[in-house]
């Protein structure tokens, strides 16, 4: 899969982020995905407005000294798309709303 830096990503319409003592989980209608590390934080940035580049920039600002950050984030985003946990939004589509904490 190629990663287009202008691709805008959002949670699928029926997804929700939940937080528990063991970590955060992305919940889909018939499926739940445990999010390791900063997974939930990255997903929260995928609001349908930011494109991939903006997601990278936001994270790079927060974690300035992390090597390989961009590569890992890209891998995570691509994996999430494959699992149905993220969708590319076409321009003009309303942003997905995730549930409040």
Residue of 1, 30, 71, 94 interacting with other proteins (CB under 8 A): 30
Both structure tokens of 11: 């949670």
For residue 84, state whether it binds other proteins (rule: CB under 8 A): yes
For residue 75, state whether it binds other proteins (rule: CB under 8 A): no
Handedness of CA 53, 85, 19, 73 (dihedral sign): negative
CA distance 92 to 29: 25
Minimum distance from CB of 21 to other proteins (Å)? Answer: 6
CA dist list (Å): 18 to 12, 23, 32, 65, 100: 15, 9, 10, 29, 9
For residue 100, state whether it binds other proteins (rule: CB under 8 A): no
Residue of 16, 44, 70, 81 interacting with other proteins (CB under 8 A): 16
In the complex, which residues of this chain contact other proteins (CB under 8 A)?
13-14, 16, 18, 20-22, 25, 27, 29-30, 32, 34, 84
């Amino acid at each position: 899969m190629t990663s287009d830096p202008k691709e805008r990503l959002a949670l699928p319409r029926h997804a929700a982020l939940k937080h528990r003592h063991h970590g955060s989980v992305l919940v889909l209608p018939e499926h739940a995905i445990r999010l390791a590390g900063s997974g939930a934080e990255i997903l929260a940035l995928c609001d349908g407005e930011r494109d991939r580049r903006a997601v990278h920039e936001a994270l790079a600002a927060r974690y300035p000294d992390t090597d390989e950050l961009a590569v890992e984030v890209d891998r995570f985003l691509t994996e999430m798309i494959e699992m149905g946990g993220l969708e590319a939004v076409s321009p003009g589509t309303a942003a997905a709303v995730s549930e409040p904490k």
